[in-house]
């Protein structure tokens, strides 16, 4: 790995695909940090903290210059929804999202090892789900798709038909606000 390279601190196939689709050359080195909110931590602060921790922890473990960390959460009626713990949790999350507007927040961080600089931002997209029938939710949960997704759904996959509309970045809902990340990488000289 070259010293001046960009390193994506994530094993998410969706983030990998998004960053690659923008023509960015990067290496991957996944971080493994605890993903629990602090008491009274605001959702956007939580997402940004996790992104920062992922970028910095990865920089401590591998070569590279710029380290990109990201974390996506879903927030509905004040509840931070990460990945479901089981199928019942996935069903519960999707039922709660049914027919309402919620927020998808991705915090991202870019750590520049050479300058010891850190750029961190949250990106928020509002998503409106159509009202879902219990049998629709059960069928989607049975596919297994919700199990590794924040809020138990993937807008780019089987849950696309559940989304009535979005207000904000589509790629943010997928897992990486691509426009913002690429522009910041360009602005700090990584691209």
Q: What is the pLDDT of residues 2-19, one digit of tens each?
A: 556 999 999 899 999 999
Q: Mean pLDDT throughout 34-43? A: 89
19 is a domain residue: yes
22 is a domain residue: yes
Q: Mean pLDDT throughout 88-94? A: 97
Count of Cβ atoms closer than 10 Å to residue 119 Cβ: 18
Burial class of residue 157, CB neighbours in 10 A (0-12, 13-18, 19+): middle
Structure tokens at 103: 């927020």
**Number of separate domains in the chain:** 1
Q: What is the pLDDT of residues 124-183, one digit of tens each?
A: 999 999 999 999 999 999 999 999 899 999 999 889 999 999 999 999 999 999 999 999
Catalytic residues: 71
* CATH code at position 91: 3.90.950.10
71 is a domain residue: yes
Please state the separation of Cα 30 from the chain's center in Å.
Answer: 14
34 confidence band (pLDDT: 50, 70, 90): confident
Please state the separation of Cα 153 from the chain's center in Å.
Answer: 12
Strands 79-81 and 27-28, by their bridges, are unpaired
1 is a domain residue: no
Structure tokens at 178: 């691509």
Mean pLDDT over the full length of the chain? 94
82 is a domain residue: yes
Structure tokens at 127: 């998503």
Q: How far apart are CA 109 and CA 24, in angstroms?
A: 16
Strand runs labelled E in the chain: 6-8, 27-28, 66-76, 79-81, 101-112, 117-129, 163-167
Burial class of residue 2, CB neighbours in 10 A (0-12, 13-18, 19+): exposed
- In the chain the first and final C-alpha atoms are separated, in Å, by 17
Segments forming the whole domain that contains residue 171: 6-187
165 is a domain residue: yes
What are the beta bridge partners of residue 163?
A: 129
Strand runs labelled E in 19-172: 27-28, 66-76, 79-81, 101-112, 117-129, 163-167
């Amino acid at each position: 790995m070259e010293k001046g390279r960009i390193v994506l601190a994530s094993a998410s196939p969706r983030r990998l695909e998004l960053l690659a689709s923008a023509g960015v050359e990067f290496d991957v080195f996944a971080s493994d940090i605890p993903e629990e909110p602090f008491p009274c931590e605001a959702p956007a602060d939580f997402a940004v903290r996790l992104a920062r921790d992922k970028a910095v922890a990865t920089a401590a473990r591998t070569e590279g210059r710029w380290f990109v960390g990201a974390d996506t959460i879903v927030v509905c009626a004040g509840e931070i929804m990460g990945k479901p713990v089981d199928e019942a949790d996935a069903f519960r999350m999707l039922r709660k999202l049914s027919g309402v507007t919620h927020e998808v927040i991705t915090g991202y961080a870019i750590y520049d090892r050479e300058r010891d600089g850190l750029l961190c931002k949250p990106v928020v997209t509002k998503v409106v789900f159509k009202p879902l029938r219990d049998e629709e939710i059960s069928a989607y949960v049975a596919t297994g798709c919700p199990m590794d997704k924040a809020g138990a759904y993937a807008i780019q996959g089987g849950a696309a038909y559940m989304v009535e509309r979005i207000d904000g970045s589509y790629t943010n809902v997928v897992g990486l606000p691509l426009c913002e990340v690429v522009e910041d990488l360009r602005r700090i000289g990584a691209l």
